[in-house]
């Protein structure tokens, strides 16, 4: 694999030439499941407001990568640095648990593939959206409720569903509620694991539209894991193609999709059904 | 009157009891273990300390946690009062009092002011507690976060990191569903500005009594194997929202027996038509007031429309 990597661009040169610092700097990270490789030798930088897609087949290590950069899985090698709004760097691998969890509920968001993993199913939509605000110290019921209403509106869920539990929502609504719940604290970086995974095609399209809208308007940086190249093309600025735990190709999303260099990427691109 | 009889019994039973049981039932090693846990609990107010809870001669849920604490802290000179739902006369209260009379030979009482140890389930006596008294609470579920977070590992982490936002989610849900904070018992409190604690099935009416209380308050959960404590004069704050502040229950009527307007009232259904009598839940307080000449109207209230059986 190492000989292959050298033939194709697998690291990314920063596209931002201003003095701004990258939001997330991932250097040579690896995670091993015993002797098995989860992912290895992955490096990239993510800039504020940028959407990075990690694509690859199942078992290629994309979820492992997402979990290590979001601090949910221990790092075997390498380093991850996150810079907060004040420019303060955080070494994610060695961050104390408390600071990590604080990041996860303030500056970060995590959208799970299955809304059930990211929502409290027995708590009303308003409570789900308000949870982060309350965790950050908001103690005014009216304010929390208004934020809930506003976010339901923004993710196109009727306001009168505010007091219903997510259990009574459709799959697409649950996923939109999960997004609202994550975005309410105005995070700077959102991790998404197959956000459109379990949804049917028309709902997927609507959700993608909404996501694109929110990401552009809020200037969110997003790390998006998907096996669906269409999702990557629609949302992502740049992409990493993973295969057997390694990044085989990286670059601007359109560039990679229109002119794939690595044989695996070519296979991936050619396997999209053409209408 | 009950108090006098209890004391007499205890004198008779003491000699006999000494041959059959170790003082206060538990063996000395167990009592030391419980005391060590209690010392830690007092040192870290509101923190749940694990302890090696023993089998007691009563079922879980009947106060095995409270009875172990009482046994561990009891001395020969202590005077024990036990209440269940505020009353000294309920089965549980009578049994636990007679248990300790038998196995420890201590004096028992029903008068709050005379007691040095007050073991309770559900209530704090209406009469103000004093320095030197110890409240022992029987706790079924010690973990206030349990209803929202099933994992013990996770709730411990949340306590360690002071992540208590989720407690307010519970209160938020109450207001969203009922228009007010409908949690009326086991109302979560913040102890000493640090740990969120479950005050056992105490009605929220009693929450303010825990704040800055001169008595030592000990909590024992036998089945869950946890003890925790509030040392004397510790701040205990009931959680709330700025625009929905904490408030205790109020009643439209005074106690039907003693006319008190300041006590926690039980609703007792007195006939087949569903008529209700509102009476103090604290039997000692009510009796003392009646002895002082306070009288209520003694009148039941007619059943609310649409409920209760027709006569």
Those residues with Cβ within 8 angstroms of residue A225's Cβ, 6 or more apart along the chain or in another chain: A53, A54, A62, A63, A65, A66, A191, A192, A193, A194
pLDDT at B310: 44
Q: How many CB atoms are closer than 10 A to CB B59?
A: 10
- The residue among A126, A139, A147 with the most chain B CBs within 10 A of its CB, best to mutate, is A139
Q: What is the count of residue pairs from A and B with beta carbons less than 8 Å apart?
A: 56
Tell me if chain B has a CB within 8 Å of the CB of A79: no
Residue pair A218/A186 in contact by the 8 Å Cβ criterion: yes
Q: Considering only CB atoms, which chain B residues are within 8 Å of A145?
A: 176
**pTM for this prediction:** 0.85
Q: Considering only CB atoms, which chain A residues are within 8 Å of B168?
A: 134, 139
Q: What is d(CA B96, CA A33) in angstroms, rounded to the nearest whole number?
A: 56
Q: Which residues 269-298 in chain B show a CB within 8 A of chain A?
A: none
Tell me if chain B has a CB within 8 Å of the CB of A98: yes
Question: Tell me, what DSSP letter sits at residue B222?
Answer: T
- Is the ipTM higher than 0.95? The answer is no
Residue pair A22/A49 in contact by the 8 Å Cβ criterion: no
Catalytic residues of B: 46, 255, 258, 280, 286
pLDDT at A271: 83
Q: Tens-of-pLDDT digits for all 311 residues of chain B?
A: 444 555 555 555 555 555 578 999 999 999 999 999 999 999 999 999 999 999 999 899 889 999 999 999 999 999 999 999 899 999 999 999 999 999 999 999 999 999 999 999 889 999 999 999 999 999 999 999 998 889 999 999 999 999 999 999 999 999 999 999 999 999 999 999 999 999 988 999 999 999 999 999 999 999 999 999 999 999 999 999 999 999 999 998 899 999 999 999 999 999 898 898 999 999 999 999 999 999 988 888 887 765 544 44
Q: What is d(CA B196, CA B168) in angstroms, rounded to the nearest whole number?
A: 11
CA angle B209, B210, B215 (to 5 degrees): 100
Can you tell me which residue has the tokens 């004096």?
B107
Tell me if chain A has a CB within 8 Å of the CB of B310: no
Nearest chain A residue to B147 by CA: give it: A122
Chain A nearest-CA distance from B175, in A, is: 8
pLDDT at B84: 92
Q: What is d(CA A46, CA B19) in angstroms, rounded to the nearest whole number?
A: 77
CA angle A260, A262, A263 (to 5 degrees): 100
Could A120 and B148 be called an inter-chain contact, meaning their C-beta atoms sit closer than 8 Å?
yes
């Amino acid at each position: 694999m190492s000989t292959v990597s050298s033939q194709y661009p697998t690291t990314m040169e920063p596209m931002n030439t201003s003095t701004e610092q990258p939001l997330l700097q991932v250097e040579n990270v690896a995670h091993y499941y015993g002797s098995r490789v989860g992912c290895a030798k992955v490096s990239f930088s993510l800039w504020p407001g940028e959407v990075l897609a990690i694509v690859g087949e199942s078992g290629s290590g994309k979820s492992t990568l997402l979990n290590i950069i979001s601090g949910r899985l221990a790092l075997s090698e390498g380093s991850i640095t996150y810079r907060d709004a004040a420019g303060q760097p955080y070494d994610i691998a060695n961050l104390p648990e408390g600071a990590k969890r604080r990041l996860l509920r303030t500056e970060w968001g995590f959208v799970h593939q299955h809304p059930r993993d990211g929502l409290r199913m027995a708590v009303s939509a308003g409570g789900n959206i308000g949870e982060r605000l309350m965790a950050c110290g908001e103690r005014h019921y009216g304010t929390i409720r208004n934020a809930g209403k506003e976010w339901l509106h923004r993710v196109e869920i009727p306001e009168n569903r505010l007091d219903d539990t997510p259990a009574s929502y459709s799959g697409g609504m649950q996923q939109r509620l999960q997004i609202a719940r994550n975005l309410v604290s105005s995070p700077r970086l959102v991790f998404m694991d197959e956000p459109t995974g379990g949804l049917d095609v028309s709902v997927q399209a609507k959700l993608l539209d909404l996501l694109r809208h929110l990401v552009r308007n809020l200037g969110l940086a997003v790390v998006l894991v998907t096996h669906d190249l269409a999702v990557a093309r629609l949302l992502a600025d740049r992409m990493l193609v993973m295969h057997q735990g390694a990044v085989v190709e990286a670059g601007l999303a359109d560039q990679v999709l229109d002119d794939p260099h690595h044989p695996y990427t070519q296979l991936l691109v050619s396997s999209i059904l053409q209408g | 009157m009950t108090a006098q009889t209890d004391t007499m019994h205890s004198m008779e039973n003491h000699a006999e009891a000494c041959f059959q049981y170790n003082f206060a039932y538990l063996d000395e090693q167990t009592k030391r273990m419980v005391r060590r846990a209690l010392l830690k609990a007092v040192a870290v107010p509101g923190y749940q300390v694990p302890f090696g809870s023993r089998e007691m001669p009563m079922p879980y849920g009947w106060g095995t946690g409270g009875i172990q604490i009482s046994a561990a802290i009891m001395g020969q000179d202590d005077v024990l009062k036990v209440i269940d739902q505020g009353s000294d006369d309920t089965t549980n209260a009578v049994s636990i009092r007679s248990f300790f009379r038998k196995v420890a030979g201590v004096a028992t009482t029903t008068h709050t002011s005379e007691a040095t140890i007050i073991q309770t389930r559900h209530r704090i006596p209406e009469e103000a507690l004093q320095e030197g008294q110890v409240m022992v609470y029987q706790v079924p579920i010690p973990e206030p976060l349990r209803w929202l977070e099933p994992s013990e590992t996770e709730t411990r982490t949340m306590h360690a990191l002071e992540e208590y936002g989720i407690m307010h989610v519970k209160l938020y849900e109450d207001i969203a569903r009922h228009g007010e904070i409908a949690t009326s018992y086991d109302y979560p409190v913040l102890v000493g500005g640090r740990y969120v604690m479950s005050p056992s099935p105490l009605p929220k009416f009693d929450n303010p009594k825990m704040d800055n209380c001169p008595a030592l308050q000990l909590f024992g959960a036998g089945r869950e194997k946890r003890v925790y404590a509030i040392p004397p004069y510790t701040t205990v704050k009931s959680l709330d929202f700025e625009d929905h502040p904490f408030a205790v229950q109020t009643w439209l009527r005074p106690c039907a027996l003693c006319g008190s307007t300041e006590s926690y009232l039980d609703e007792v259904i007195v006939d087949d038509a569903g008529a209700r009598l509102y009476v103090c839940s604290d039997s000692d307080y009510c009796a003392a007031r009646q002895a002082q000449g306070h009288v209520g109207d003694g009148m039941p209230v007619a059943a609310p429309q649409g409920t209760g059986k027709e006569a």
